[in-house]
Each structure stands twice: as structure tokens, then as C-alpha cells.
């Protein structure tokens, strides 16, 4: 969730995307989330509560949260927040605790942010990572999610490079179902990308529904002028990259299509589809290596991706379910 990319023309830089300080990401529950911890370090040998605090955990932050949470280590840093592995003292479990950057927290204000994040807390779906808690402590705004000990889709792609069409759709279908449910509840994700698709016991889980909705609503139209990014270059829709705030389901459709394309080809598309590409249902300007893999995926799947990635909203696939169908 960092970096920048312009959206004025027909092409865009698709490679300036952020990864966590560990090269991966994670979040809460039983495996990764918004910033995740490599599996090799998923289980610590130390007891659930250890009084040692690593140097990269601010002492004032730990002091503010100490009554409820013990911070263990940094799982990842993004353009809006830092994620920590923490021990929940009350429930004796490990969680992922996300703390907004001080400048963003000051801009939003605790009351507005906490009011808006309640919407995300009401989302209950088997493929959406739950929101355990949220609050303000010592001037810090935070929210808490399950800690998931497992690979994110980003890590799977780093290992496998690309996936078969069948495998890609098996991952994308539950993600689309989660998005459709959230859309019916009035919540857009706005930051679908491989880092935010986690795996719990082999099942895909969409992470980080909370922050984009709460921040975008609490921040309002002025948020884009603060320098805090909502969305990730290369994955956000053209209208989102242009700074528009009146978004609908099609912005998530676009991002999901980018993720599916990357699963099939091994990297995101190099450019937006042209009008002719949308008419023909074929990526006419794909490179030779992309063309080979798109052909392997089949014309039906390629056509679905072209329409889901259309720049013009009136040409884009309307819903995540329609993309998968």
C-alpha cells in the first residue's frame, strides 16, 4: 500500500508495488493478513507473554497498549500503517495489530475512524478475515485481526511464479464470493492484491477490509491530498488511481482481474486493454510470453479478463460474480 503511479494515459507503471519489511505480508487469525510473517518464523519458541520488547517497537506504543496487548515484533509496514504480531492478554491468543501512522491518525481523528470501522467489524463471511477489536490508546489508532500463520498468495506466486487456470479460479472464486457479500453490505475493499489474499488451512481469506472503508469515509474527499495512498499501483482501477472517490463494485472487479491475470501469466498486465481489445475479447498488445500463457488459459477466460480490466466503466464487468461466471 504504498508507492505512486499516474493514471492519466493508456499505460501505467505496474511494478511499483510494496512488500513488507520481511519481503512478505501477514495478518491475523491463524495465518497472514495485511502484512505477513514468513512461515519459517511463524511460531516463536518464547512463551505467549514475554517481557522483552524488540527495538523496532516504540516504547510509547507498547506502554499505551500494555494493559491489553503485548507487541512482539513488526510484521510489515505500509503507506498507512504498521502491523505488529501481538499477544492478546485477555484471550491468550496471538493477533495481528495494525497501528495507523501518526499523521494519518491525526488527520482522521479517533471518533470518525472508530465510527466508520464498525461497518467492517460487522462483516461475517468464511472468506473474510474478521476484525477482533479497534480503539485509540495514547493517541494511537489501531485495529486487531486474527493472526494467520501461513502463506499469502504473494508468497505462493513467488514460489510457483504462475498457476494453472483451474488453480487460479479455485482461488479467485471464494475471493469473488467474499467481495460480493461485502458489496451487498455496502463495503468496497479497494485494495485487492496477492498480499491481501491469505490461506487458512488451504482456504483463501481476504484480509484488510477494515482500513480502506474506514479511512476513505472518515477522510472524505480531502484524503487524496494528504499523501496517504488508498490502493496499490498496478492493482487499483483507473478511476481509483485517478483519485476519484465515487467508486462502486467495479473497482474491486478490476483489482481481482489483475490478480487472476497475474496468477495465470506470472506478472500483472503491462498496460490497460484498448477499445479494440475489449471489442475482440483479446489482449491485442500482450507480449509474446504473456500471449503464450493467455492462450494456454483459453479464450473464454482471456475474454472475461479483458472485459473486467476495461478502462471505461460502461464496458467493465459489473460484479465479481459475473467475472467468475
23 assigned to some structural domain:
no
pLDDT digits 0-9 by tens, 27-73 = 444 433 333 333 333 333 344 444 445 668 999 999 999 999 999 99
Q: Number of structural domains, the chain?
A: 2
Residues 78, 170: one domain?
no
Whether 109 maps to a domain, the answer reads yes
At which of 110, 145, 180 does a domain end?
145
pLDDT band at 278 (very low <50, low <70, confident <90, very high): very high
Tracing cell 505496474 back to the chain, one arrives at 14
d(C-alpha 179, C-alpha 13), whole Å: 26
Burial of 22 (0-12, 13-18, 19+ CB in 10 A): middle
Residues 162 and 310 in one domain: yes
pLDDT score, position 213: 66
Q: Do 157 and 253 fall into the same domain?
A: yes
- Confirm whether 29 is domain-assigned: no
Q: What is the pLDDT of residues 202-239, one digit of tens each?
A: 999 999 886 676 776 666 555 555 555 578 899 999 99
Pairing of strands 93-100, 69-77: unpaired
Q: Which of 121, 145, 169 is the last residue of a domain?
A: 145
What pLDDT score does 223 carry? Answer: 57
Of the listed ranges 39-43, 182-186, 280-284, the one predicted with least confidence = 39-43
Residue 38 is predicted with a pLDDT of 37
**Window from 34-38, 208-212, 253-257, 294-298 with minimum mean pLDDT:** 34-38
Q: Residue 294: is its pLDDT beyond 90? A: yes
The backbone torsions φ and ψ at residue 31, rounded to the nearest 5 degrees and listed phi first, read: -155, -140
Catalytic residue from among 88, 177, 191, 208: 191
CATH, residue 189: 1.10.510.10
pLDDT, residue 32, reads 37
Is residue 313 a part of any domain in this protein?
Answer: yes
Average predicted confidence (pLDDT) for the chain: 83
Q: Identify the weakest region by mean pLDDT among 115-119, 281-285, 309-313.
A: 115-119
**Residues 6 or more apart in contact with residue 106 via CB below 8 angstroms:** none
The whole-number pLDDT of residue 4 equals 40
How large a percentage of the chain has pLDDT more than 70?
A: 78
Query: Average pLDDT, stretch 85-114?
Result: 92
Q: 173 and 131, same structural domain?
A: no
This prediction's pTM: 0.79
Of 88, 84, 70, which Cα lies nearest the Cα of 33?
84
Which has more pLDDT, 243 or 279?
A: 279
Which comes out higher in pLDDT, residue 310 or 35? 310
pLDDT at residue number 219: 62
Q: Strand ranges (DSSP E) for 138-259?
A: 140-145, 197-200, 203-206
> Which of 129, 145, 161 is the last residue in one of the domains?
145
- Give a yes or no: residue 7 inside a domain: no
Q: What is the mean pLDDT of residues 269-282?
A: 92
164 and 121 in a common domain: no
Q: Are residues 317 and 171 in the same domain?
A: yes
11: pLDDT strictly greater than 80: no
CB 143 within 8 A of CB 117: yes
Q: Is residue 91 part of a domain?
A: yes
How far apart are the C-alpha atoms of 270 and 21, rounded to whole Å?
Answer: 26
| Domain housing 169 | 153-324
Mean pLDDT computed over 146-174: 94
pLDDT at 243: 82
What per-residue confidence (pLDDT) applies to 51? 46
How much of the chain, in percent, has pLDDT values that exceed 90? 62
Q: Is 56 a catalytic residue?
A: no
Amino acid at each position: 500500500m504504498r508507492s505512486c503511479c499516474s493514471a492519466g494515459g493508456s499505460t501505467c507503471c505496474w511494478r511499483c508495488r510494496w512488500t513488507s519489511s520481511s519481503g512478505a505480508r501477514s495478518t491475523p487469525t491463524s495465518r497472514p493478513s495485511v502484512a505477513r510473517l514468513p512461515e519459517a518464523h511463524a511460531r516463536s519458541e518464547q512463551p505467549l507473554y514475554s517481557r522483552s520488547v524488540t527495538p523496532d517497537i516504540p516504547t510509547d506504543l507498547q506502554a499505551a497498549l500494555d494493559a491489553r496487548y503485548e507487541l512482539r515484533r513488526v510484521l510489515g509496514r505500509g503507506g498507512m500503517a504498521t502491523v505488529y504480531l501481538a499477544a492478546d492478554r485477555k484471550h491468550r491468543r496471538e493477533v495481528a495489530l495494525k497501528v495507523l501512522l501518526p499523521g494519518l491518525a491525526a488527520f482522521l481523528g479517533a471518533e470518525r475512524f472508530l465510527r466508520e470501522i464498525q461497518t467492517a467489524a460487522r462483516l461475517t463471511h468464511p472468506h473474510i478475515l474478521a476484525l477482533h477489536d479497534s480503539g485509540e490508546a495514547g493517541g494511537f489508532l489501531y485495529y486487531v485481526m486474527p493472526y494467520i500463520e501461513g502463506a499469502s498468495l504473494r508468497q505462493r506466486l513467488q514460489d510457483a511464479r504462475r498457476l494453472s487456470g483451474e488453480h487460479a479460479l479455485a482461488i479467485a472464486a471464494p475471493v469473488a464470493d467474499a467481495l460480493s457479500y461485502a458489496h451487498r453490505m455496502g463495503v468496497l475493499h479497494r485494495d485487492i492484491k496477492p498480499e491481501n489474499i491469505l490461506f487458512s488451512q488451504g482456504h483463501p481469506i481476504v484480509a484488510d477490509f477494515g482500513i480502506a472503508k474506514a479511512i476513505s469515509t472518515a477522510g472524505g474527499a480531502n484524503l487524496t491530498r494528504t499523501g496517504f495512498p488508498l490502493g496499490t499501483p498496478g492493482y487499483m482501477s483507473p478511476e481509483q488511481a485517478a483519485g476519484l472517490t465515487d467508486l462502486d463494485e467495479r473497482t474491486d472487479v478490476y483489482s481481482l482481474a489483475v490478480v487472476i491475470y497475474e496468477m495465470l501469466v506470472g506478472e500483472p498486465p503491462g498496460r490497460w486493454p484498448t477499445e479494440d481489445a475489449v471489442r475482440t475479447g483479446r489482449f491485442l498488445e500482450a507480449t509474446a510470453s504473456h500471449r503464450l500463457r493467455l492462450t494456454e488459459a483459453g479464450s473464454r477466460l482471456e475474454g472475461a479478463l479483458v472485459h473486467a480490466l476495461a478502462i471505461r466503466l460502461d464496458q467493465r464487468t459489473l460484479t465479481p460474480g459475473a467475472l467468475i461466471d
